[in-house]
Every structure is written in C-alpha cells, then in structure tokens.
Structure 1
Amino acid sequence: MLTTKSPLLAKTASRVISGSTINPAARISIILCQYHSPSSSFNTHQARSFSFTSKSPLQTTQSLQITPTVPRHRETKQSWPHPVYTEKQMQDIIIAHRDAATFSDKIAINAVRLLRSVFDFATGYKHDPKVASGEKKAGDATQFAMTEKKWMIRFIFLESIAGVPGFVAGTLRHLKSLRTLKRDNGWIETLLEEGYNERMHLLTFLKMHQPGLFMRLMIIGAQGVFYNAFFLSYILSPRTCHRFVGYLEEEAVITYTRALADIDAGKLPGFENARAPQIAIDYWKMNPDAKVRDMILYIRADEAKHREVNHTLANLDGDLDPNPFMTQYEDPSKPHPSKGIEHLKDVGWSRDEALSK
C-alpha cells in the first residue's frame, strides 16, 4: 500500500518496489505516511501516541511478515500418560489432614500456613476456616464470595507455584545419583511426573484465562523466591520438604473442593455449562463433551494423589527405601501404593505399609 501527496516520493518508492526481489513466501508492506504541507489543517501540537518512529513530518515504516511454512505448534506424545480415574474414585475424594507428630512436621505445617496466608492475600481469596476443619460443608460457606475471575487468578497462581517442588526435588536427587554413582531407587520419575502434572493444570487454566501484567510479575517474583527457598530446604531436609508439599496439597484439595461446591450451588454460572478446554480432554482422556466441573474433579483428584505421595515419601528413608509408587508387588490383589487412586491413602502410607510385599 503506497500513499503520499508527493509525486517525487511516489515515483521513488515505485522504483524501489519494482526493482526489488520479493520472496513469495513473505508478505511485505511498505507504508509511506502522508507528507503534510504547511497549509495542512493538521494540529502539530496534538498529543502523539508512543512510538519508535521519527518525529519529522515524513515517517517511513517498513514491516516484514513471513508466513511460516510449518505450524509453530505440533501435537506430541505425552511423556507421562495420565492414569485413568473413575467417576466414583473422583467423587470419593475428601478433605483430610495429617496431624503434625514430629518437630519436622510442625516446621512444615507452619511454613504452609505462612505461605497460605501470603498466597490468599496475593490472589484475594478467603475461605471459611470451618470448611477446612470439616465442621461445615464447602457449599454452606457464605461468608466469602469468589467470582469466576477470582477463581481463575487463584488457580493460575497456585499451579504456577505447585509445579516447582517436584522438579526441584527430582533435579537434586538426579544430581546426587550422578555424584554418588548410585541408583535413585525410582524416586526421580515420580517427582518429575508430579511437576509435569502440575504444569498441565496450569496450561489448562491458561486456555480459559490470560493473567494481566501485574499477575505475571507476581508469578515471576514468587517463583524466584520459592524455587531458591525450596532448593536450599531440600538440601537440608528432604523429609521436611515432602511433608511440606503434603500439607500444601491438603490445602489444594480444600481449594478445589470449595470451587466445586460453588459451581454446584450456582454461584459460578460461567463455569456451569462451560466446555473443558481440548488440552484437558486429551490429557485426562475425558469425554468430548466434558465440562469445566468435570475437569476440576480430575484436578482435585490429582492434588489428592500428590498429597498421598508426598506424605508417604516423608515417611520413608530417602537414601535407602525404594519408591513404593514405582514398585511391582508380589500380591497385586492387596492394596498397595500405585500411580492411580484406586487405593488412595488420604494422609499417606506408613513405612511398613509402603515396603510390604
């Protein structure tokens, strides 16, 4: 597109365009802004929008857009296919809490309470304390109100942080295995899979809502602080860190249970009939017509699984004990730790249970 009031400029631009070789795979647009004569009615004192172009009356901008020959995004196979959950298994998920029995447990739970208070303040979230204690059902909580947008902000912030511990722990155990020239007893894969699963939660919610600049900056800052704090803490006490994540997942189950109750109570009409994003349908192998509520059921079940896994790992000796969630048991008919939730232990398996044959 060529627009100008100067015949000389038009003639010069035409020569440039006709004499150049243009790649057919590219779309080139050359725009010559109009030359305004002194007699023009244009107000030179009018506020200009922010730009990187010259302030002179004649402005020339050339933009080159090349259409890619291949799509930027390709479908790939999942590194960790998600286990199949039944409707009954997901409906049976309950809010549960493991009592802090040791000094290490008390450090972990107090750290979670501190993080929870900061997290609630950052996302504008409040919940009825009686819901967490089990004195009141989530659907009966009327003291605090959450909108669809508030829930999405909370979900995105929560999952952006929840994906950190698994990869930090997996990385440190991987490096230790290399450094000591010893096997890891199967812990690394479960930890990395947990981080991968949390990231899939985040990617799913991002298909429904895009956070603003302020929230993105908060996520960057929170990740930087939390990653380094968890990294140093895991070096000092892996057991305390796994207990910390177990308590953190307890809070996540409360959050998603409250969200489901709000949907069922008609408080979130935007979620009631909304279709789940395709990425969620593919990842959890859901029905093609699955709704957002169905998706949140799967996510809550995942958080309950992480709760079980980390409370169990906190009961084990990380240097000696094998990962029970990767173990092949002699008698599969008996309840044992597994990748699924068919034998879910809300507060984790004891060491004797996890190591039994």
Structure 2
Amino acid sequence: MTVHHVPKTVSDYIALAVVKAMRVPADLFFARRYGHRAVVLETVAAVPGMVGGVLQHLKSLRTMQPDQGKIRALLDEAENERMHLMTFILIAKPTWLERALVLLVQGLMFNLYFLLYLITPKTCHRIAGYLEEEAITSYTEYLAEIDNGSIQNVPAPPCAIDYWHLPAGAGLHDLVVAIREDEVRHRDINHAFADSMT
C-alpha cells in the first residue's frame, strides 16, 4: 500500500530523518493504541497544510502571481486532517494527558514548521509527504488489528458517515480505509509540490 518516495537530495534525507525521529516518541508513548495515536498525530498532520496554505497565500499576494492551485489544495488538506481529528476524538476519547500533549506538540510543530517553511518550502513539503507515508503505515497496521479482532470494529460516528459519505452502518474498518485514502492523496500532493520546487 505505502509508496515510499526515495530520497534523492540532501533536503530529502533531512526531511526523512526528521519524520523518522518524530515517529520514535509516538511509538514509545502510544504503542498499538491507534485511536489515541491518531488523536495526537492528526493534530500535527493538520499543521503543514494550514502553514503552507497561509504562506503560499501571502506569497501570491506579495508577488502578485497565481498560485497554481496550491493554496486551495493545502487548506483543503488542513481541513481534511482536522476532520480526522474530530472523528477520532469521538472514537478514542482522549485523556487529559493526551489533550495536554496535543497543546505541546501542536505548538512546537506549528512554530518550527512555519519558520522552516519560510526558509525552505521544498523541505517542508517533503516532510509532509513523509509524515503521510508514516500515517499510511499506521493506518494499515490499525486495519490489521481491526481485521484480526484485536480492536473492535465499532460503528463509525455519524459525523464521519456524513463527511466521507460512508454507507449507513459503516464501522471503524470502513472509516480507517477512507482516512487512509485521504493520507495517500496528501502524500502524493506534498511530494509533487516538493518535486516542483527548485
């Protein structure tokens, strides 16, 4: 399922190293508690699209040039990732510690990503692409746990059924498949944006 973008430049290797380093604490803290992992990680995942969208918007205004659709794509990505979070809040019911972790992680991610995007948007899009690759891996593992019965295939929340146009009676399995498809799209968009930048 996962298609890995093989790093070719120093920027790519740095982006991949950053993402692999970010995965270590997530694996240690959450292990196989995928719903809780999703709550925190989807908070982080919504940052790159918003930061990129805002900074591309400002660049378009400043240069008085069209944006080739980047602004809309990035803001749509941010909104989509926010919906992932809203859905998993209903499923995982995060603890006060996880909510506090969200504040810390989101604050760090937003500020660091914003500063890095000002310096090298290409590296930032590559980081986002690699983050999505990790998300695809996590959601594939989540599906395996649902399919083997380790995690109950609970009903998908009504907001998820409406947002992803899932069939009535859809379960967690259907929801995770839909979210993983979103992550595939975000992966491809961010790697394409990185490829298009010099």
Tell me how far apart the structure 2 counterparts of residues 108 and 283 of structure 1 sit (CA, whole Å). Answer: 31
Q: Percent identity?
A: 43
Structure 1 stretches lacking a partner, 5+ long? 1-93, 126-145, 319-357
Task: Note the C-alpha offset of 1:175.
Answer: 1.2
Task: Note the C-alpha offset of 1:209.
Answer: 2.8
Aligned length: 198
Match of 2:183 in 1: 303
Match of 1:288 in 2: 168
Tell me how far apart the structure 2 counterparts of residues 317 and 208 of structure 1 sit (CA, whole Å). Answer: 38
Tell me how far apart the structure 1 counterparts of residues 30 and 73 of structure 2 sit (CA, whole Å). Answer: 32
Q: Which amino acid aligns with 1:188?
A: I
Tell me how far apart the structure 2 counterparts of residues 181 and 193 of structure 1 sit (CA, whole Å). Answer: 22
Alignment of 1:91-240 (within 5 A): 94-121=1-28, 123-125=29-31, 146=32, 150-240=33-123
Structure 1: 4+ residue segments shifted above 6 A: none
Contact 2:34 2:138 in 1 (8 A): no
Task: Note the C-alpha offset of 1:265.
Answer: 1.2
Contact 2:43 2:85 in 1 (8 A): yes
Task: Note the C-alpha offset of 1:184.
Answer: 1.5
Alignment of 1:71-82 (within 5 A): none
Tell me how far apart the structure 1 counterparts of residues 192 and 64 of structure 2 sit (CA, whole Å). Answer: 26
Larger Rg: 1
Deviations 1:300-345 (CA, angstroms, capped at 9, x unpaired) = 1111111111111111038xxxxxxxxxxxxxxxxxxxxxxxxxxx
Task: Note the C-alpha offset of 1:267.
Answer: 1.3
Match of 1:19 in 2: none
The structure in which a higher percent of residues are helix is: 2
Bigger RCO of structures 1 and 2 (CA < 8 A, at least 6 apart): 2
Match of 1:248 in 2: 131
TM-score, reference length from structure 1: 0.54
TM-score, reference length from structure 2: 0.96
Task: Note the C-alpha offset of 1:199.
Answer: 0.3
Structure 2 stretches lacking a partner, 5+ long? none
